[in-house]
Amino acid sequence: MNRAEERRRRFNIFDLFVLALLAAVGFLAFTLIGGNRGLASSDTRVLVTYQVEIENVSARVRDAAVSGVSVRDGVRKTHLGSIVGVRYYNFYRMKGNAETGEVVKGIVDDRYNVVITCEAEGSLAGGRITVGDYVLAVGLPMSVQSSGISGSGYCISVETRPL
């Protein structure tokens, strides 16, 4: 009976490994979820110019995007600055010819790709560009809303200038 109690109180290397693993997982979760929010004083304020491309929209939606209007995120409703430029081009679709094996680029009638250029004040910290709580990066899927236009697309360029 005495040896059984002694074994229960014994601390072995496996227990140490489990505790170290739990500490590492806790630290990783803390840093990923937001353990560095207190370091905001090291952020550099910048003027962010970014472009969002929305594909396959109608002519009515294409003409609704105008400069000078405020834009926000379509999901979180975060303010993302204002529109400073709009351009568009025809929407293309690749069509295959089964007989020849050729792939042909064809214009789709009354469908357009719209590129919206926006400007906002943001911050640059550790290589990460943020506007409010929204992180901007090239290739990031974005959902934008403005008066007259809303849609989902991709961020195709991001530029920063010091304020």
Per-position pLDDT tens, the chain of length 163? 566 666 666 667 888 888 899 999 988 888 887 655 554 456 789 999 999 999 999 988 888 888 999 999 988 889 999 999 999 999 999 888 888 889 988 899 999 999 999 999 999 988 899 998 899 999 999 999 998 788 999 999 999 999 8
Measured in whole angstroms, how far is the alpha carbon of residue 20 from the centre of its chain? 34
Closest CA to 131 of 87, 68, 82: 82
Q: Taking the complete model, does pTM exceed 0.75, yes or no? A: no
Backbone Cα Rg of the chain: 26
pLDDT of residue 157: 96
Strand partners, 134: 131
pLDDT of residue 39: 47
Tokens of 33: 């979820």
pLDDT of residue 14: 82
For every residue of 73-113, DSSP letters joined together read ETTT--EEEEEEEEEEEEEEEEEE-TTT--EEEEEEEEEEE
- Between the CA atoms of 37, 43, 48 and 52, what dihedral angle is there, to the nearest 10 degrees? -30
Q: Where are the domains of the chain?
A: 2-33, 39-162
Tokens of 82: 């204002």
